[in-house]
Amino acid sequence: MFEEKIPTASKPTPPRRHAFAAALLGAGLCLLPLPHADAASLFEPSSAFVQTGSAHGTRTLTTGLTWDLPYRWQLGGGRLDSYLEASYAYWHIQASERDGRSQLSQFALVPVLRFRPDEGASPWFFETGVGLTATSSIYRTRQKTFSTRFNFGTHLAVGRSFGERRQHEIALRVEHFSNAGIKHPNPGENFVQVRYAYRF
């Protein structure tokens, strides 16, 4: 007797959570209908920043610009704002950690959500962002090797504004870079960064 084999459907590939998060956050903010606003003002940078940090023998120096997005929400007694940041970073790998190039460049475009308590009046803020990054070469150290030059960047940050117009900002950021499992190996790298920003 022959048993009839019933074909079984292949299991769906599990979703790439970081990739979906990046797509949803970026597309969601960019595709929302724009409120009535001066079109020229949307292209004017709202702040400039510099930041520095490190991870396992790799030091970074970053500079960039931000643009306020016209999307705001009231949330739990606070206010949620949005902005877009574009940055250039220089990564330097210390000699004891090198497995190839000693330096590389990174370009990033990241939509960000920022929460301020007290109906937005607090000088303190918390933020998160997910976006796209590209490096000039594949990141390699003695401990880990990326498989792609294009990766997702995610971060969590806490910071404080100060000055008469809140024109100065200091923030502590934890940033993670990986390709969300699109290609292996995908060890990822975590950086702790300190940022100073000046609002125009």
> What digits encode the pLDDT tens for the residues 147-187?
999 999 999 999 999 999 999 999 999 999 999 999 999 99
The amino acid present at 97, given as its one-letter code, is E
Q: What is each CA distance from 78 to 16, 72, 100, 117, 191, in whole angstroms?
A: 31, 11, 47, 4, 28
Sequential DSSP letters for 103-122: EEEEEEEEEEEEEETGGGT-
- Predicted confidence at residue 31, as pLDDT, reads 54
> What digits encode the pLDDT tens for the residues 8-58?
444 443 445 555 555 555 555 555 555 555 556 668 999 999 999 999 899
> Which domains can be identified in the chain, with CATH numbers?
44-199 (2.40.160.20)
Do 131 and 109 meet the contact criterion of CB atoms below 8 Å apart? yes
Place of tokens 């209908």: 33
Per 3-state DSSP, the chain is made up of helix, strand and coil in percentages (nearest 5) of 10, 55, 35
- Predicted confidence at residue 13, as pLDDT, reads 38
**With bands split at pLDDT 50, 70 and 90, how would you rate the model's confidence at 99?**
confident
Task: Look up the pTM and report it.
Answer: 0.81
List CB contacts of 194: < 8 A, sequence separation 6 or more: 51, 52, 53, 170, 171, 172, 173
